[in-house]
Amino acid sequence: MGYGGYAGWGDREADADFNATSGQGKYTGGGGGGGLQSADQIISNSYQKMLDDYGTKSKEFDTTNPFAFDEVLATKRTEVGARLDPYYTQTLNDFLRGITTRRTRGAQDEQTVLAEISADAQNYLGRNKELLDQAIDSSNQGFSNANLFFSGARMRKEGLLAKEAGQKGEDYMTAAGRRTEEVGLTGSRLREDLTSQEALGRRDIEREKVARVETEGLKETNLAQLRRDLEKSQYLGSPFSSGSLSNISSYFSNAI
């Protein structure tokens, strides 16, 4: 048949190879013997041996230096997380310190204003009572000088003065109560806002940390894989160092 390169092959393997390659590299031009067949067979055997050596050395390296991408990525995430923890812990603490300061100052300011409102109310009521007493004394003196101290007019006058003073006190306390409510509402809203800001700040800081851990962990994993590929390439040596079996064929093609 002239395809001496198939000498020693089984019928099934030879037929499959011929159908796939059209017998390329197997044709000897004769009845299967001669120098050309011997040289071709030597190259074929050498090629196969090199493939076997590649597989053996590659397996040896992989056994000695296992690399599971997901496992390495998980390890890198842990390492990056531990490295970033101090920074983000400090960042969170600084943020929370600001929230706590604003919350404390807000509560202090609220209590200060409420105390001032209460003190002003007490002062007003005290002053209002003093003015009422003075007005009643003056009225009584007038009626006494007119010999009308025990008259109904004096009693009515005193009643009117007391009613007027009482109304002023009620009006003042109503206004003070409204101001107290406003201060309390402002303080309540501040506390609500700070609680919301704290929750959002915690969330954003944690999100940033998770994103950095993922990004830097993936980057370091890729670098570790590239480093391992380089070490494997150096271990395999030429012509395997390119990491591609197709280059072995080129190596033999150039040698023929």
| The two structure tokens encoding residue 247 | 């280059």
First-to-last C-alpha distance (Å) of the chain:
23
Q: Determine the structural domain holding residue 182 and report its residue range.
A: 70-229
Q: What is d(CA 71, CA 64) in angstroms, rounded to the nearest whole number?
A: 16
Domain membership flag for residue 239: no
| Residue 144 belongs to some domain of the structure | yes
Number of domains in the chain: 1
Give the pLDDT band (50/70/90) at residue 1: very low
Within a domain: 47: no
239 upstream amide cis, omega within 30 of 0: yes
Task: With respect to residue 117, please indicate whether it lies within any of the assigned structural domains.
Answer: yes
Looking at residue 89, its pLDDT comes to 97
Residue 120 lies in a domain: yes
Q: What's CA 196's distance to the chain center, in Å?
A: 18
pLDDT in tens, 41-88: 777 777 787 787 788 888 898 899 999 999 999 999 999 999 999 999
Assigned domain for 84 exists? yes
* 21 domain-assigned: no
Q: For 137-177, how does the pLDDT look when each residue is reduced to its tens digit (9 = 90+)?
A: 999 899 888 888 888 898 999 999 999 999 999 999 999 99
Cα separation, 49 vs 52, whole angstroms: 5
Q: What is the pTM of this model?
A: 0.63
- 213 is a domain residue: yes
